Structure 1
Amino acid sequence: MALSLPINIEEVKGFLAEDEAQALYDYALSVAERGPLLEVGSYCGKSTIYLGMACQQKNSQVFAVDHHIGSEEHQLGEMFHDPDLYNATDGIFDTFAEFRRNIRRCNLQDVVVPLVAPSEVCAKFWTTPLSMVFIDGGHSLDAALNDFRCWSGHVMRGGLLAIHDLFPAPEKGGQAPIGIYRLALQSGLFESVARVNSLGILRRL
């Protein structure tokens, strides 16, 4: 059943397809009772809203990890740069104000916990088991590997690891996300559950 949202989701900047968003919500809903969720790479909050709505249903929380200064492709002069999100005064790409506005519009302030720092800083002293981790941060190989190494080990047994932007063919998209997806499978700690468009869902064994 399609999720009814309190806002027009098309107004929220982001790169999540409709079928991917619905799958993210459905799988988050299936595990949120077991513990909190965490996403890496919130941008303006589109995926956070779907995860947050699932957590709201199950009295859980989602930790949203993002330094909010954009990945390589969001910087001035790059392919995915959005001038509306560029803070010319400080000379930085800055998505945090837009993120907070979208979370507030969906009444998810008590559900979503923003962690505004690089992935490795947030993970340094992390000890809480997570029912689901969604990785959609920087798409360079170094960034994707870093996010995977920081957070995959915190997924509880039976919990889920979701990875966005899986493109088997290099001409369709960057190879770092599918690289860490394959790494997860090769580790023997995860099994494939579903592929929805470019979203991969794995379960921790």
Structure 2
Amino acid sequence: MDAALRQVAEGATGFMPPQEGLALYTAATAIPAGGLICEVGTYCGKSTLYLAAAARAAGGTVVTVDHHRGSEENQAGWEYHDTTLVDPRTGRLDTLPFLRRTLEQAQVEDVVTAIVGRSEQVGRWWSTPVALLFLDGGHTEEQAQADYSAWGRHVAPGGLLAIHDVFPDPADGGQAPYHVLLRALDEGFREQSRTGSLRVLRRVD
């Protein structure tokens, strides 16, 4: 991975450990030339940069989808609430300006397109096959399943599905992404690699 881009990625606001970020990058570099990478759950763009680096290497494109109002765990009173991301004008979380700064700093706007909207709404009208889908959106059971339902069907045959924050043991973290993993394994995906909480699967049906 480009050293300058990796430095920006590691310094960006977010929850992707460097080891998992590099594993995501490695998986994404395997997409076909000109392939499309889709990320569900952008936050401030940390993981987006690992995907952007891979897209640039493969001659591909990244589309990243988020409503930018934060997941449940990002709201006031929850563990991952960050007051610096709150818009003082509205009092609501707004990560979109921070994504813009991240993309500008990394100079990856030529390979990244940001879509502002709820993933299940965007996924409803989406029609382009996806070479790699990265799921890292809401971590409630309802939202995680909705993200997979909306986007899993768009993964091209032989394409990749990456799921973040997969914790089989409830003592380690929430179970929603793990349940998505189990569902994907039942619906034509086969596990390809594990790095920390990141799982990479390939569609084989």
Which category describes the TM-score, using the shorter chain as reference length? over 0.9
CA drift of 1:35 comes to 1.7
Whole-angstrom distance in 2 between the partners of 1:51 and 1:11: 15
In structure 2, the residue matched to 1:97 is 97
Whole-angstrom distance in 1 between the partners of 2:166 and 2:197: 5
In structure 1, the residue matched to 2:23 is 23
Local SS of the residue matching 1:5 = helix
CA drift of 1:9 comes to 3.1
In structure 1, the residue matched to 2:147 is 147
CA drift of 1:136 comes to 0.3
Whole-angstrom distance in 2 between the partners of 1:110 and 1:3: 16
TM-score normalized by the length of structure 2: 0.95
Cα 1:200/1:26, change in 2 over 3 Å: same
- Name structure 2 gaps, 5 residues minimum: none
The percentage of counterpart residues that share the same residue type is 41
Local SS of the residue matching 1:62 = strand
Instruction: Provide Cα deviations, 1:128-176, integer angstroms capped at 9, x if missing partner.
Output: 0010000000000000000000001110111100000011111110000
Cα 1:100/1:57, change in 2 over 3 Å: same
CA drift of 1:19 comes to 1.1
Q: After TM superposition, which residue ranges in structure 1, 4 or more long, deviate above 6 angstroms? A: none
- Name structure 1 gaps, 5 residues minimum: none
- Superposition RMSD on alpha carbons, in Å? 1.2
Q: How many residue pairs are counted as aligned between the two chains?
A: 203
Local SS of the residue matching 2:133 = strand
Whole-angstrom distance in 1 between the partners of 2:32 and 2:67: 24
Whole-angstrom distance in 1 between the partners of 2:119 and 2:9: 26
CA drift of 1:16 comes to 0.6
Q: Is 1:83 the equivalent of 2:83? A: yes
User: Which one-letter code corresponds to 2:30 in the other structure?
Assistant: S
Whole-angstrom distance in 2 between the partners of 1:113 and 1:59: 14
User: Which one-letter code corresponds to 2:189 in the other structure?
Assistant: F
Q: What pairs with 1:34-45 in structure 2 (closer than 5 Å)? A: 35-45=35-45
Instruction: Provide Cα deviations, 1:41-74, integer angstroms capped at 9, x if missing partner.
Output: 0111010000011111122111000000000111
TM-score normalized by the length of structure 1: 0.95
In structure 2, the residue matched to 1:190 is 189
